[in-house]
Structure 1
Amino acid sequence: MRNWILPEYISDVLPAEARQIESMRRRMLDQFALYGYEQVEPPLVEYVESLLTQQDAALDLKTFKLVDELSGRQMGLRADITPQVARIDSHILNRQGVARLCYTGSVLCTRPDGLLSTRQPRQIGAEIYGSASLAADVEIIELMFASLAQAGVKDITLEVGHIGLFNAIADAAGWQGEVRQTAFSALKQKDVPTLKTLSAQLNPELTQGLLALASNYGDFTVLAQARRQLPNLPAITDALEGLSQLHAALSARGIAVRFDLAELPGSYYHTGLVFNAYAKGFTNAVARGGRYDSVGEKFGRSRPATGFSIDLRGLTAVPFAGPKAGILAPQGDDPELLSAIRGLRAQGEIVIVDLGVVQSEVHVDRTLQQNAGVWQVISL
């Protein structure tokens, strides 16, 4: 039996990658703290109804489920940490003002997001609860860029959309259930033939608006074009105005924006602004986020919320220097040797005691040797 083989899209994290992931995690958490975010650590497993917000079929499909032998209830292994943080904000912290929370941890998915993805991402993210303001969305995006910079990600392209545009047209069309989900998926994939088929029975204004969502992509001029092409519905007017204000606020911070009105999230709990960050050298988005104002409703306290998440394992393509070379020291009980090793480690040096080291397998460039009764560091 080849019992060392792992399941598909599941892999070990080996030393070099583990060092890089941990280094990025620490730097990002420190960055979050500078903005006033407090870290929470939800459990890996919960009752399944707590892990699924609203009627989120996509998240339900990605969640591994099992039976709790103590209670007999169905439990789930988290596939997304955001619903857990929403539960903490809504039902445990119960703060009246704005709460800035962050998290990091592994999630497990029944299927990968893409051919090059893992089913066990290492997720890190930050979220703001209790503020529906544009300023909260701007802060989250600014923090996302600062966090990616900590990981060495450069040349970032921010693509922004708004799920309210699709929802307004779907509501006006009276779409529910499977039809609405089919239209959602078709728009996300820019599948124009399917969109034409679905909208064949709609009035021309709604049909034109739906097809316009699939074709409007580019800089700030996209919004002016969308105002001409989309139906004159209050929700659409509000969404486009919000995107216009977001563009102005991000431009003032030196963040360029590209608009994609077919940019839709992978989960159904988002309610407004959605955004993805892309970078040169990466196949998938390096960070994702948006607004999800009703995510806490299931826990009895619906609060406006906005945030982003990053898969740290997805960022390991960024060049990483790794640790500096260490010092190889002999084993022994000589008090002066032990004192020299402790002193070097106190100075931040990596000291590896030789218990049978093969030098080609460890990163050392010096050795600790005794010379005239004194322990000295000698270059190899």
Structure 2
Amino acid sequence: MTSVDRWQLPDGIEEVLPAQAANVEQLRRRLLDLFRSWGYELVIPPLVEFTDSLLIGLGQDLDLLTFRLTDQLSGRPMGVRADITPQVARIDAHSLAPDGVSRLCYAGSTLHTRPKSLMASRSPIQLGAELYGEDSLAADLEVIRLMLATLDRAGLPAGYTLDLGHVGIYEAVLDVAELNDEQEARIFDCLQRKSVPDLIQTLDDVPEDVAMLIIGLVDLHGDDSVLPAARELFADRAPQALAAVDALQEVATEIRRLRPDLPVYFDLAELRGYHYHTGIVFAAYVPGHGQALANGGRYNGVGEVFGRARPATGFATDLKALVSLLPGETATGKGAISLPDSAAPELLALAEALREKGEVVINTLGGEHHARCDRELVLSGADWVVKSL
């Protein structure tokens, strides 16, 4: 290995240098303060947990994203968290175990074995909020509104789109189709890729009415015209899907009442997190950014593996991805003040007073002003004053 190789990082793993790190930290504080103002309490789950609790009941997707290692103290398998949401569900169900509604939020690093999409990071800084103990559209709406408020508070320019779906629609279609596990897996893959030719080939041995129902899902994405088309498709063939369509209509109507300029997009074949979510799913997309900037949904019952099945809904975003889309934001402010290399008590007291007011004061070492300094402390008569460089 050459000296150059030693400085290389794995693909998809990034270091965050001072300017961006300052922006990430400033944004983290601002958004956690937003969550607190909505009643969401901060929790800090551990970076690693035993896989028994970290992965159980959460589907294959998260399992494949999780790095594994062995605990040298107990010999039990552990995982480095790829998603903080299941940890927060454990905290709600087991560590806190409240009787009523609880609202929790978090921010922390995660690690993925592979990127979720072509340009995605394998080391996101995940920030999110979760609401437990309430199984209603009102709770889903609260979390969607908080997600939108998060993007606004971050300073994201206008022009993002809200994407709505409901896993209950696909579940209703599956109930009617009565497919075996192999057929379901193949159809799931085709629908995720929205590949009609592959879907037609896969459905070759499925009754025609069932095949038409499943193929019809592919076209159910777009503006409001999707919902009446869905009702027509499901009315006779899968009537149990109509409640999910109605729920989407109600959520969209309420969001539009509050945010009339926000574009709302429906995708009734959205299967993101299908093995994890249990109801409405939602995401925010910005033009030119290939993956969801923030996403979430309802995931009832995850706490059951920890002894308490709790209704749950929430969302998450990646702070690094969010910062990268903000328009030239900088947290470095107006620069810094250069402090002469002196042990004079009155000078050091003034430096501390300036720091208490939020100023950055940097010691001068070796007679050189730090590059960030645009002002300096100088002696004027008997007093130390701040002067521009």
Q: TM-score, normalised by structure 1?
A: 0.95
Verify the 8 A CA contact 2:213 2:237 in the aligned structure 1: no
Verify the 8 A CA contact 1:59 1:267 in the aligned structure 2: no
Cα distance, 1:133 vs structure 2: 0.5
Larger displacement relative to structure 2 (318-327 or 37-46): 318-327
- Counterpart check, 1:326 vs 2:336: yes
Alpha-carbon distance in structure 1 between the residues aligned to 2:358 and 2:231: 59
Note the aligned Cα RMSD (angstroms).
1.8
User: Which of 273, 280, 293 is the aligned partner of 1:286?
Assistant: 293
Cα distance, 1:357 vs structure 2: 7.6
Q: Which residue of 1 aligns with 2:388?
A: 379
What are the Cα deviations for residues 107-162 of structure 1, in whole angstroms up to 9, with x where unaligned? 11100112221111100111111111100010000000111112111222001111
Alpha-carbon distance in structure 1 between the residues aligned to 2:202 and 2:226: 24
Q: Which residue of 1 aligns with 2:237?
A: 232
Name the CA shift for 1:374/1:96 in 2 (closer, same or farther; >3 Å).
same
Cα distance, 1:194 vs structure 2: 1.8
Q: Which residue of 1 aligns with 2:305?
A: 298
User: Which of 114, 118, 121 is the aligned partner of 1:115?
Assistant: 118
Verify the 8 A CA contact 1:219 1:259 in the aligned structure 2: yes
Alpha-carbon distance in structure 2 between the residues aligned to 1:130 and 1:256: 30
Name the CA shift for 1:14/1:207 in 2 (closer, same or farther; >3 Å).
same
Alpha-carbon distance in structure 2 between the residues aligned to 1:232 and 1:120: 44
Q: How many pairs are equivalent?
A: 379
Gaps of 5+ in 1: none
Residue type of the alignment partner of 1:326: A
Name the CA shift for 1:156/1:70 in 2 (closer, same or farther; >3 Å).
same
User: Which of 224, 227, 237 is the aligned partner of 1:223?
Assistant: 227
User: Which of 243, 248, 255 is the aligned partner of 1:250?
Assistant: 255
Q: Which residue of 1 aligns with 2:365?
A: 355
- Counterpart check, 1:344 vs 2:354: yes
Larger displacement relative to structure 2 (108-117 or 258-267): 258-267
Cα distance, 1:374 vs structure 2: 2.0
What are the Cα deviations for residues 12-45 of structure 1, in whole angstroms up to 9, with x where unaligned? 1111111111111111111111111111111111
Q: Which residue of 2 aligns with 1:211?
A: 215
Residue type of the alignment partner of 1:41: I
Alpha-carbon distance in structure 2 between the residues aligned to 1:209 and 1:358: 73
Q: Which residue of 2 aligns with 1:160?
A: 164
SS of the aligned residue for 2:129 comes to: strand
Verify the 8 A CA contact 1:162 1:272 in the aligned structure 2: yes
SS of the aligned residue for 1:296 comes to: helix
Q: TM-score, normalised by structure 2?
A: 0.92
Q: Which residue of 2 aligns with 1:34?
A: 37
Residue type of the alignment partner of 1:167: E
Larger displacement relative to structure 2 (68-77 or 348-357): 348-357
Name the CA shift for 1:55/1:310 in 2 (closer, same or farther; >3 Å).
closer
Cα distance, 1:239 vs structure 2: 0.8
Alpha-carbon distance in structure 2 between the residues aligned to 1:354 and 1:177: 69
Name the CA shift for 1:53/1:213 in 2 (closer, same or farther; >3 Å).
farther
Alpha-carbon distance in structure 1 between the residues aligned to 2:191 and 2:367: 57
SS of the aligned residue for 1:200 comes to: helix
SS of the aligned residue for 2:205 comes to: coil
Q: Which residue of 1 aligns with 2:102?
A: 99
Residue type of the alignment partner of 1:164: G
Alpha-carbon distance in structure 1 between the residues aligned to 2:376 and 2:33: 34
Name the CA shift for 1:376/1:214 in 2 (closer, same or farther; >3 Å).
same
SS of the aligned residue for 2:338 comes to: strand
User: Which of 259, 266, 279 is the aligned partner of 2:266?
Assistant: 259
Name the CA shift for 1:240/1:199 in 2 (closer, same or farther; >3 Å).
same
Alpha-carbon distance in structure 2 between the residues aligned to 1:87 and 1:355: 50
Alpha-carbon distance in structure 2 between the residues aligned to 1:357 and 1:219: 64
User: Which of 146, 149, 154 is the aligned partner of 2:149?
Assistant: 146
SS of the aligned residue for 2:31 comes to: helix
Alpha-carbon distance in structure 2 between the residues aligned to 1:306 and 1:182: 28
Verify the 8 A CA contact 2:58 2:302 in the aligned structure 1: no
User: Which of 350, 365, 373 is the aligned partner of 2:374?
Assistant: 365
* Equivalence map 1:304-319=2 (5 Å): 304-317=311-324, 318-319=326-327
Larger displacement relative to structure 2 (305-314 or 108-117): 108-117
Residue type of the alignment partner of 1:54: G
Name the CA shift for 1:297/1:235 in 2 (closer, same or farther; >3 Å).
farther
Verify the 8 A CA contact 2:160 2:263 in the aligned structure 1: no
Verify the 8 A CA contact 2:376 2:386 in the aligned structure 1: yes
Larger displacement relative to structure 2 (207-216 or 156-165): 207-216
Cα distance, 1:281 vs structure 2: 4.6
Verify the 8 A CA contact 2:19 2:332 in the aligned structure 1: no
What are the Cα deviations for residues 233-273 of structure 1, in whole angstroms up to 9, with x where unaligned? 24311111111111122122115421011222146211111
What are the Cα deviations for residues 302-353 of structure 1, in whole angstroms up to 9, with x where unaligned? 1111110001111122121222211112111012211221222222221111
